Amino acid sequence: MDGALDKYGNAVQWGVTAVKVEQDDERVDVMLQHADGEENVRAKYVVGCDGAHSIVRKSAGLSFEGAVYPQDFILADVQLEWEHKANLHIFIGHYGLLAALPLQNGIFRLVCSRPFETDTETEPTLDDFRAAIRQHVPGEVEISNPVWMTRFRLHHRIASNYRSGRLFIAGDAAHIHSPAGGQGMNTGIQDSVNLGWKLARVLRGESPDSLLDSYHLERHKIGLAILHGTDRIFEMMATTNPIFLFLRNWLVPWVVPFVMGDASRRASRMRFVSQLGIRYRDSPIVGNSRTWNGKLRGGNRAADGKLLGSGGETTLIGLLTGPEYHLFLFSGVGDAALDMQDLCEAEKSLVESKDSITIHEISTAEQKGGEGFVDVGGKLHDWYGFEGPGFIVVRPDGYIGFIGHLKDKDGPVPLA
């Protein structure tokens, strides 16, 4: 990530703390603390990705609603001698849970829940981890050479709003939850991607400031859903309730093979974990043409597929480069298809200016002629539902801004 930022001349400054953030109708003033002194920065907007104790969130007056989980956890990086050398292991039992994450050189990160009767103010010792391993792990395990040890509590909280005037929050500054399901980092990155392209359009004068309101409208409900989802997973994993323990320990060995044994259920689970199933269908900045009833709609993530162009094979997602919108014109298939010349003519009625949109024409192999891309076998046409000519407008974050039949369009495609 550092390398990617360096290419754009935006190297990360380390060891810098925001100590004061003030905004008015025109700007934001930020006081930064460096190792060698203070710096005052003036900006049009500020995005706080500054964690659970975010000064940006506090300066914006946004509440952080939620609570702390009752469980107390301890963590250590230690040397482990056991048969499970290279894999992540999670042990769930009557005593809570223990996770062992391989790092390097035989070092594992151990995370385990403490018994409720333990004094939560007591710092962990190596013996605490030995006891946890005896409770959870079968076989002989040698633990030694702790690199560091600590205790912590987990919170589940979400901000009341992701925007206040010229201040925005993202990532852990906007929502925190248990690590169950591995959703934290991807959620924060998607926050940033969702907001980033909108800020770019507003700062370039291509969209009004009101576009930025859609950031909260699209992302807050996603954060809330992930909070609730990870809550349920965590409560199942960390419960000490005897009834829930019985149900979990007896049902899980039967349920997991059932869920993971079916391809469609496996795919559904992977969509949740990968977050590729996230959609913004009720967003005010997405839409569909008046007769559109396809399975993919405005607000869905754009579906990917192979395309053949003059430069060789590529993919639809691979064409989504740069900060612009992308318009994909589909010829349709069979007798209903337009030839490439007619498809290029249709483009003129859909686009007012090419300054902030990149246009791609896609035909089936049978209809190929001139420039553009070939959807070999018509697989993308089928996936999107384009039997006749159609179009999709894809946002810079890879989501469909508008989709429909070409026959429905009587004016330029809407850009936020």
Instruction: Cite the active site residues.
Output: 95
Report the interhelical angle of 213-238 vs 184-203 (nearest 10°): 180
Rounded to a whole number of angstroms, the distance between the first and last alpha carbons of the chain is 28
At CA 320, angle to CA 318 and CA 321, rounded to 5?
A: 100
If you ran DSSP here, which 8-state letter would residue 389 be given? Answer: -
If you ran DSSP here, which 8-state letter would residue 303 be given? Answer: P
Among residues 314, 291, 286, 325, the alpha carbon closest in space to that of 410 is found at 291
DSSP per-residue letters across 139-207: S--EEEEEEEEEEEEEEEEEES-SEETTEEE-GGGTEE--STTS-HHHHHHHHHHHHHHHHHHHHTTSS
Q: Are 195 and 47 in contact (CB under 8 A)?
A: yes
How many other CB atoms are there within 10 angstroms of residue 286's CB atom? 24
Run of H or E residues at 53: none
Amino acid 314 reads T
Q: How far apart are CA 89 and CA 74, in angstroms?
A: 16
- The two tokens of residue 184 are 């934290």
Q: Are 103 and 109 in contact (CB under 8 A)?
A: yes
Of how many residues is the chain composed?
Answer: 416
